Structure 1
Amino acid sequence: MRDHTSELRLAEVLVEASDTLADDFDPELYLSRVAGHCVELLEATAAGVLVDGDHLPALVASGHPRPLALDLLKTQQGGGPCVDSLGTGRAVPPVRLTTAESARRWPEFTAQARAHGIGATYAVPLRRRETTLGALNLFVADASHGGAADGELRLAQAIADMAAVGLRNHRTYTEYRTLTSQLQSALTSRIRIEQAKGILAERWHTSVDEAFAALRRYARRERLVIAVVATSVIEGSLDDAALRDGWSEPSGEAP
């Protein structure tokens, strides 16, 4: 019988990467876990994610193991596979760091990576259609990994793509929740204003339009949000004389 363990583990990782619709979502922790899964599935020494910050590589990155990943990512301020992938939106295939070409291409990064015992590296973008949100960088001790099969690069890209979907979905979810909250607040404010208008119209024996005009006039004079004034009217905490200041009683109406 075929062993499906690796396929099942990959499926679990992809499902987890897509599960970002939560109010307590932590992007840094999320990306760190994605990097950790890449270390596990792709047998890497370390992995990290560099995110796009206003079209510049952000200095704060996530990775696993965190100290090693952070060091290798921060070293790439002078150039490196993750920065290249982030800038171009394309994958950087596995590169041996033991070659003179690597030293010429990324001198500072190559020296630091070799000091940590890293022999090869590759990177893939976190992209959603035409938008690149960051880049995932994998670091491998074995220099022979520089000739790794295309399947590993594709697997890393699949995980990165799912992470990009997860990040974008959370952003959409957050925007939706914000809009819902704003709409609910507006509805609540409208209800309170209508209640206050009714209370004043009945108390003053006038129309709701006149009552609303008094509410608005007081709010402008005191530089308050009209919904706040309406709440004070409903709660009975607003001085009626102050509210009626400047209001002219309609002719023929009882006060």
Structure 2
Amino acid sequence: MALDLLEAQHGRGPCPDSYGSGEPVPPVSIRVAHADARWPDFTERALGQDIVTTFAVPLRRRENLLGALNVFVPTLPDPTPADAAASGLHVAQALADAAALGLQNRSAYAQYRALSGQLEQALSSRVRIEQAKGMLAERWSVRADRAFMALRQYARRHRLPLDQVASAVIEGVEDDAELRRESGGSSDGPA
């Protein structure tokens, strides 16, 4: 039911109006809106769903507009429509504010998780590169910077990520002779 009504809005309805303006759309009688040809597709479907009144409030966090919350009322309001409408708007806005906070927190959490994963991957990569550099420097009796240059040159020449070449060195599956040629092949003393 609600999904059908939301789909019927197609850019014209209380939700798009609230989202577009960033302001609440106060309670509107579906019959009056239908008679005025306001939101024709939406009001036609709402009448078919026995919706009497609708309103919408923006979902925003500070100045960041995230969407809009549509409220469908299947009954006539209490005898004090002004008070009921104001109360309904306040409750809906409080709910929308809570939802917006949840959406913002979810987004921030996802960003921090992604950044944390990237940093963890970069640290692991750096550790592997340092380990491979040390292994080659020890094996070839060269300085660590020369071993690193060999790793880097090999990676560039073969268009491989440096971390992948370092992993191959650690796992012992690299082409040691070709890597050594990248270092200049000569010993320049202890590391």
Q: Helix, strand or coil: the match of 1:149?
A: helix
1:236 aligns with 2:172: yes
User: How many pairs are equivalent?
Assistant: 187
Deviation (angstroms), 1:170: 0.8
Task: Tell me the TM-score normalized by structure 2.
Answer: 0.90
Q: Work out whether 1:88 is the aligned partner of 2:24.
A: no
What TM-score does the superposition give when structure 1 sets the normalisation length? 0.69
State the distance in 1 between where 2:64 and 2:150 align: 51
| Conservation of the 8 A alpha-carbon contact between 1:103 and 1:111 | no
Residues 1:175 and 1:231: Cα distance change in structure 2 (over 3 Å): same
Residue of structure 2 aligned with 1:137, choices 37, 47, 70:
70
Amino acid of the structure 2 residue aligned with 1:88: S
Q: Distance in 2 between matches of 1:237 and 1:213?
A: 19
Instruction: Report which of the two structures shows the higher radius of gyration computed on alpha carbons.
Output: 2
SS at match of 1:86: helix
1: CA distance, partners of 2:118 / 2:16: 38
Q: What percent of counterpart residues are identical?
A: 54
Residue matched to 2:85: 149
Distance in 2, Cα, partners of 1:224 & 1:102: 67
One-letter code of the match for 1:198?
Answer: G
**1:120–1:139: 8 Å Cα contact kept in structure 2?**
yes
Match of 1:190 among 126, 130, 135: 126
> How far 1:78 sits from its partner (Å)?
5.0
Aligned residue identity for 2:116: T
Where 2:110 maps in the other structure, the secondary structure is helix
> CA 1:102 to 1:226, structure 2 compared with 1: closer, same or farther past 3 Å?
farther
Matches within 5 A, 1:205-224: 205-224=141-160
Match of 1:57 in 2: none
Displacement of 1:253 after TM fit?
4.9
Q: Corresponding residue for 2:47? A: 114
| Structure 1 gap segments, 5+ residues each | 1-67
Separation (CA, whole Å) in 2 of partners of 1:81 and 1:252 = 76
Q: Render the CA deviation track for 1:163-210: whole Å, top value 9, x for unaligned.
A: 001000111111111111111111111111111111111111110010
Once residues 164 and 187 of structure 2 are traced to their aligned partners in structure 1, the CA distance between those partners, rounded to angstroms, is 30
User: Are the equivalent residues in 1 in contact too, given 2:26–2:56 (CA < 8 A)?
Assistant: yes
Alignment-mate amino acid for residue 28 of structure 2 = V
Per the alignment, residue 98 of structure 1 pairs with 31
Q: Give the equivalent residue in structure 2 for 1:171.
A: 107
Secondary structure at the aligned position of 2:165 is classed as helix
Change (3 A) 1:195 1:91: same
CA RMSD of aligned residues (A): 2.0
Instruction: Check 1:70–1:100 CA distance in 2 against 1; reply closer, same or farther (3 A cut).
Output: closer
